[in-house]
Amino acid sequence: MPKYIFVTGGVVSALGKGIAAAAVGALLEAKGLRVTLQKLDPYINVDPGTLSPFEHGEVFVTDDGCETDLDLGHYERFTSGRMSVFNNYTTGKIYNNVITKERRGDYLGDTVQVIPHITDEIKAAIKSVAGEQYDIVIVEIGGTVGDIESLPFLEAIRQFRHDVGRENVLYMHLTLVPYIKAVGELKSKPTQHSVKELRAIGIQPDILLCRSEVPLSGDVKRKIALHCNVDPDSVIAAIDVETVYEVPLSFKSEGLDRLIEKKFSINHFDNSSGPDVSLWADVVKRIKKPKFETTIAIVGKYIGLKDAYKSLTEALLHGGIANNSRVHLQWVDSEDIEKKGAEDFLSEVDGILVPGGFGSRGIDGKIEAIRHAREKKIPYFGICLGMQTAVIEFSRNVCNLSANSTEFDPDVKDPVIYLMEKWFNHRTGTIEERTKESQMGGTMRLGAYPCVLLEETHAFRAYGTKNISERHRHRYEFNNKYRGILEQNGLVISGISPDGELVEIVELKDHPWFLGCQFHPEFKSRPLEPHPLFKAFIEASLKTKALFT
């Protein structure tokens, strides 16, 4: 039976429970333990797929096509695990399952209640990710203690210790210890109140992760331990660090791995040397002390909330790690380009990236940015919508077509990007029906799909193999009706689906590095294994920088 670590949060949101849970996973994996993680979100949406990026940040997509919370991206970046539909549950998903069972008559006339039916469903969801292949299951509870939405989840994990045995469950609580600069003191009272709230629910935390700007002295730790009913060595300082990839190293220095082993009585692993975190130390060194620097412009429309592009910014960082380079990000609102032109915003950058997105707002600015990259020979990387807009720009300005996507203009004369009515789903082996519904409706291509690469292309050189698999999240496709004229004018189709029907990657001839892909490569990039396309993009940008310096 696996051991379970439940990570809760208190005082304020955005303390970094996802990073903390992922870092604990990384630390335990470095000890040789087999780890998986799960996120339980208290919001009522069935999944975050319909939420605005401004509301909830990016939507992370798994191989099996599940739209999930962005914290699952942290889990995959910090550990070797690959998340699935079972690694993210919401209140909406839990209630939907219970109501479906009630309508089907599964409860045999019982009055359906939060306890035991909802809590039992939550516990079943937790057990759905557990298996003999794992030693540790880390479960993060979204929200903060005291939120009414979180109560069923907290009650479920309270019961869980009784169900599987006290020796198999550990409660880890992340809380804030603010530093008051005016008096030069750390204040433990918010942590005390947070733990008091948690204990009132029936959960006594075993370990406290105390987020703070400055180190916690022994006296502060002992004070927190006394008032929160934990051992002093169970008070772990979660100090602000320069890069999130330093968190596993920080937790190791605090002895968190040994503490977890001690509390779980795990004694069949060699504890003498501790976890091997040398790879993480190398990553941190490359981030803090790189040999090179490059500047990348991200031309988007959600730049007011950086979490909307969380996996993307991390993947660019990973590309920098692979090239021993610091990557400076220059955020450019595509609507500003529409007003003032590309030159004012993009003249000093070494590479230009247009990310994914939905809707027509800011599209003309993205197209103008792509034109600037094409004409000025600046390395360009278009992802999802960034590929589609690159095709539109090329069609208009090189092929002289009246081109657009039917997403933005349903009556366009030359729909180079359009909504296919039928397509073969290589992941499920079935024919999918697409309906011309609103943007939030219809069928999306979600999850991992195979792609065949054309040799002697940027894509092939980056991957070093002909057959790849990447994750998708989009509806609109390249219109093969225009493939001939675009290729005749210099567009290179460098990646297609195995049946040749779906264009996955496009490039340009006679350009240092210009590539657009339908999929989201950022979802598979990791600091210990940077994605090939991001590695190649940053390498090309560094070469461009070298040419002009």
Q: What is the set of active-site residues?
A: 384, 520, 522
CA dist 24 and 27 (Å) reads 5
Cis bond leading into 116, ω under 30°? yes
Q: What's the one-letter identity of residue 67?
A: E
Residues 6+ apart with CB under 8 A from 541: 294, 295, 296, 350, 351, 379, 513
CA dist 445 and 454 (Å) reads 22
CB 121 within 8 A of CB 114: no
CB 58 within 8 A of CB 311: yes
CA dist 486 and 479 (Å) reads 11
Phi first, then psi: give them for residue 338, nearest 5 degrees. -60, -35
CB 109 within 8 A of CB 103: no
Overall residue count recorded for the chain in this entry: 549
SS3 198: helix
Task: Report residue 130 CA to chain centroid gap.
Answer: 22
DSSP state of 114: I
> 479 vs 177, 476, 503, 528, CA distance in Å?
56, 9, 8, 37
Q: Give me the residues paired with residue 4 across strands.
A: 137, 169
CB 60 within 8 A of CB 47: no
Strand ranges (E), 277-421: 292-300, 325-333, 351-354, 380-383, 403-405, 414-418
CB 485 within 8 A of CB 79: no
SS3 368: helix
Q: What's the one-letter identity of residue 423?
A: W
| Helix 17-30 × helix 71-78 angle, to 10° | 20
Task: Report residue 19 CA to chain centroid gap.
Answer: 11
Phi first, then psi: give them for residue 57, nearest 5 degrees. 80, -165
CA-angle at 64, arms to 18 and 245, nearest 5°: 30
User: What strands, in cross-sheet order, belong to the sheet with 292-300?
Assistant: 325-333, 292-300, 351-354, 380-383, 514-517, 503-508, 491-496, 445-453, 467-474
